Chain A
Amino acid sequence: MKTVLTVDDSKVVRALIARNLGDYGVRVVEAENGRDGVRAARLHRPDLILLDVTMPVMDGRAALTALRSDPKTRSIPVIMLSAESREDLVGEFMRLGVVGHIVKPFLQATFDAEVAKVLGWPGDTQGARPVDRDASTTVADETARALAAAREAASATEEVLQGLLEDVNGCAVLTLPEQATTLARVVPAVARRLRVLRDAGQDAVVVDLVGTACVTAEQVSSLVRVLVEARSLGMRTAVCARDEGVMTSLRGWEATAGTICATTREMALGQLR
């Protein structure tokens, strides 16, 4: 069974995280501050750490530094939790090498979108749910099944990604899907693909929201991660949206990603060229 360590000084946040992790079939270990969290991480070697930023005794940034400087805990994936959604925080956490950032208070869907990057989706075959071990099941059988599931998952992700990310005359165009979770799910794959595109000489990304009349918080959060990722790769970005409401919610993120807003894909492509 996988282990998740929750480090937060708030009892209610720890209780809500434990409830949200209910479907994942994981063991949950809790700590009330960064110092205890680092100790618990060394002791339990969790598969994932959910780390609050603001805590007494030792805050999340200091705890993260301590975790990264210890070979025993260096490679454990960390998702930061914070009450603030400041644009510079997203960038800072990305630079610190965390796998995700969740703003409190959060809905289960937002939580799942981040946690699934490490644990897989609850109920998915590729997820991290413990498998009921039949006495006759051999290690070889289990490994083969896990590999097949992983291949299937990877191909499904690639299939989704194919429809979302395309190459238009030397410019990467990412189309925002209707489902918030779809984008959140493929963000790591999008980031990998952007690196490949950049290596192939593309230095610009257009995020196309022209067919979208409503942008959810989860979509914005996933979108910002893509934009920040692209900027960290030295790529220029533009976002196109026809809907005025969508445009308004995106303008708040212009500074974070240094992005350009346009009303059509053609205008966005033209401005980037």
Chain B
Amino acid sequence: MINKVIKKRDLQKFLRNLRTKKLYAPVKDEEGKIEFKLVNDLKEITFEFTNTLKPVKSLFIPQTETIFMTDKKGIHPPKVSNLGVVFGVRPCDAKSIQVLTKVFEKDREDPYFLQRKKDLSMIGLACTSPGENCFCSSLGLGPFSTDGLDMLLADIGEKYYVEVVSKSGKKLVESNQELFSEPTKADRKLRKKAQQNAEKKIARKLDVERVTAKLKHAFESAIWDEVSKICVGCGICTYFCPTCHCFDLTDEFLEGKIFRVRTWDSCTFPYFTLQSSGHNPRPTRRERIRNRIYHKFQYLLENIGEIGCVGCGRCLENCPSGVNLIEVLSRVGKS
């Protein structure tokens, strides 16, 4: 791995040079919510945030997208373009794109997702100050991990410490050589310190190995009854999850044209499994919560060799009734 440093004021120049491609980065809105947006003015980019409200998946699988349009003249596929550069991705979110890539490549390739990912440069921002709901270190990741990234920047005061991870990252550095320099011994020390501090701040822990082993025999456990009682059945935990990817396909008729639309769907909704006969194999929240957890910690592991959780803590942060994934799984682990 190549290590470099870049002065903070040179980062602006670097980002300006990257804008030959489209550039997406975290932007703060009026309500103070942080979202990935297409950046027109570099000043819009925010560096002060724990994590974006919606995960980076929302760029790769937009909540609503037209798969094709059909009219009297025929079938018209949409033009899907590459994302270009995504800057300011947290390590947990970067890992989620690796997980999603395996999902969208398996069996049948998803051209929409893969097109957006083509020639992508994903530049991460290390978490120097993880949030109170973060637990990435329990998933084999960390506030400074580089999985799925081309390059990772870590704030070390006056400069950013840059870890170049991939060929694409290397290219970006090479074409902006004048902005990067070799890290000094002091820079390395600062980076190490920042990482240690960050890792210490992650208070929540989960024994994933134990949980995945226990889940094999916990399908009929009483735990599911208990933890599902307070769930109100909204879609927050899935919509805001970086790895949840289930979708619905519907045809929408508008002004003489038919659009086949793909939208996010959620296994926490009763309609997710409702069959036309009227039968619902997951009739209550007990079965729905259980399915969500089994999908993440069992089925994905069996199907693509990855766990469908990156420890970002968004489900803990946003659940309106306080369902806590770590607590649920810890109970399974202890059972």
Instruction: Tell me if chain B binds chain A.
Output: no
